[in-house]
Amino acid sequence: MTKISADMVKQLREKTGAGIMDCKEALGESGADMDKAVEYLRKKGLATAAKRAGREMSEGLVHAYIHTGGKIGVLVEVNCETDFVAKNEDFADLTKNIAMHIAASNPVGIRPEDVPAEAVEKEKEIYKAQALESGKPENVVDKIVEGKLSKFFKESCLLNQPYVRNPDITVADMLNEAIAKIGENITVRRFTRYQIGES
């Protein structure tokens, strides 16, 4: 049995923001392997998020973020279940971090189904034309288009994007970790991003 030191627990807490008992449990389950413990906590976060998915979220915050220089601005609404959590500092930080991510990454929508159908069709046409132009046989063109479309959603949908402050995880992973830590269902309801000169 590997001895789990207070230092290891502290290190894992700093990495993940999880509670002391959760960190001890994760280190115990992973044989004190830090990477496996992080993965264990991430999976636990996903399980917690799935359990809470059906709950109503009528509270939350609207956060306004203006990027240095005033050229980019973001308004984002993030919802939670209770007023208590909406007033929590961790929730306020989460909302601010999401707004900063939106400013930096310019997502088209929150999830793939939010991307307008005409934008998806336009992307498909471009990918199909590119594949045919490069001489790919007709029977593989559809697979190429699907692959490129999947990549497009990963790059342009907020929840699928690698989180700017930790590109090893997606924004959805970051949200799930927050749900596990805060103990309530949380969702990004809507956002608007303004950039000088954009129509």
- Which residues lie below 8 Å from residue 177, measured CB to CB, with a gap of 6+? 16, 17, 18, 41, 42, 45, 169
Q: Which residue has the higher pLDDT, 23 or 161?
A: 161
Class for domain 59-110+157-195, per CATH? alpha beta
pTM: 0.68
Give residue 55's pLDDT: 58
Please determine, looking at this structure, whether the domain spanning 116-155 carries the CATH number 1.10.286.
yes
pLDDT confidence bin for 91, thresholds 50/70/90: very high
Give residue 171's pLDDT: 94
Does the structure show a pLDDT above 90 at 104? Answer: yes
CATH fit for domain 6-52, picks 1.10.1380.10, 3.30.160.70, 3.40.50.720, 1.10.8.10: 1.10.8.10
75 in Cβ contact with 60 (< 8 Å): no
16 in Cβ contact with 38 (< 8 Å): yes
Give residue 6's pLDDT: 83
Strand, coil or helix: what is 87? coil
State how far the Cα of 67 lies from the Cα of 59, in Å rounded to an integer: 26
Domains 6-52 and 59-110+157-195 alike in fold: no
Q: What residue segments make up the domains of the chain, in order of their start?
A: 6-52, 59-110+157-195, 116-155
Pair of tokens at residue 174: 């970051």
Q: What is the pLDDT of residues 106-118, one digit of tens each?
A: 999 999 888 888 8
Strand, coil or helix: what is 84? helix
Q: What is the pLDDT of residues 148-189, one digit of tens each?
A: 998 998 899 999 999 999 999 999 999 988 888 888 889 999
- Choice among 16-25, 66-75, 96-105 with the minimum mean pLDDT: 16-25
- Which residues lie below 8 Å from residue 162, measured CB to CB, with a gap of 6+? 168, 169, 170
